[in-house]
Structure 1
Amino acid sequence: MRTSTDENNGFTELSAQLTGFDDASIRATGLVEVYGAVAVEQLGTDLFERLLGERGRPAEELNDDLVDAARAVTFLWYTGSWPGPPPFVVSADSYAQGLAWRAAGLAAPATAPAGYGSWAERPTEPEVR
């Protein structure tokens, strides 16, 4: 299922709010459309649209269905996986682009070989926000 540009923009804004990453970082993953489609498929169109409509509101003001949906979308961005049931990894690229790796200042294991002897180098410092 394809999502509209307006829906992608709304999903990007919602994703930034949920993850703490800015819109540019969310878009840089190249997964906005893919994750939007996964969210629509897994949550259903009605719940997905309700969640988009509530962006900007504090979590305390959301009902249980919307809180669970927001948690699932956040989990998706950080891990590249949908929490289920049943849980599944969206793709190898989604695993590699998981925001958990970016937050830790790392590349996902086995996705970006650093080269011979790289283990001896000091890790780079993560970005401070």
Structure 2
Amino acid sequence: MTQETSAETELRAFVKFSATVTGFSEFDLWGTGQAEAYHRTAVQRLGPEGLQAAMASDPSADPAGPAVKSIIKLWYVGVWYRPEQAGRLDVAAWTAPGRSGGKPAVPEGSRAEGDRSSPPFVVSPAAYTEGLLWRAIGAHPSGAKAPGYGSWATPPAFEDHQEKKAP
């Protein structure tokens, strides 16, 4: 049995926290293939201490803190919004030149949390297609995953991602 590294422990804690705030299981989040990219982005943008503070916050707090909202949106739409922007959704960030195709508008490795001019950016080439948004609404990302011939003839099937609790 191998010893788990600190980085692996932090990544697992991030996914566990993300499962709590997104309503999806850890299994679903790992299945997106985006856990490492999203964790790396959150660390770069919030700083290690900022991410730890967000993960230590009460996930049931209403409203959630700005950093927590940024993490939730990251999982749902694959776009990083700096915490001040987390209250609004800029769909143009998915398609604007220089912001899609896996090339962040802000250079990788730079922390732009305090930079008021840092635009939202798509985290990776697969972030759009793997966004939880599509599973939540029972749809497929337009032009990215084929739902199959004739699938438009039937209504979408919704999965219940909430845990069933005994009365």
TM-score bracket relative to the smaller structure: 0.7 to 0.9
Deviations 1:9-42 (A, max 9, x none): 1001110111011111111111111100000011
Report the alpha carbon displacement of residue 124 of structure 1 after superposing the two structures with TM.
3.5
Count residues in correspondence.
Answer: 121
Query: Alpha-carbon deviations, 1:56-82, whole Å to 9, x = none?
Result: 6532597xxxx1110000010000001
Change in CA separation of 1:57 and 1:96 when aligned onto 2, cut-off 3 Å: closer
Are the structure 2 counterparts of residues 122 and 61 from structure 1 closer, same or farther at C-alpha, using a change threshold of 3 Å?
closer
Inter-partner Cα distance in structure 1 for 2:71 and 2:134: 17
- Alignment RMSD, CA only? 2.2
Which ranges in structure 2 are unaligned for 5 or more consecutive residues? 1-5, 83-117, 163-167
Instruction: Decide whether the 8 Å contact of 1:14 with 1:56 is kept in 2.
Output: no
Write the mapping of 1:85-96 to structure 2, written as runs, cut at 5 A.
85-96=118-129
Q: What is the TM-score when the length of structure 2 is the normalising length?
A: 0.65
Q: What one-letter code is carried by the residue in structure 1 that aligns with 2:38?
A: Y
Q: Which 5+ residue runs of structure 1 have no aligned equivalent? A: none
- The structure number with the bigger radius of gyration is 2
Note the alpha carbon deviations across 1:86-115, whole angstroms, 9 max, x for none: 101112311001101110111111111245
Q: Answer 1 or 2: higher relative contact order, Cα 8 Å, separation at least 6.
A: 2
Which structure 1 residue ranges, 4+ long, deviate > 4 Å from structure 2? 115-118
- In 2, distance between residues paired with 1:101 and 1:60? 24
Which structure is higher in helix share? 1
Show the counterpart of 1:83: 81
Quick check: 1:15 aligned with 2:47?
A: no
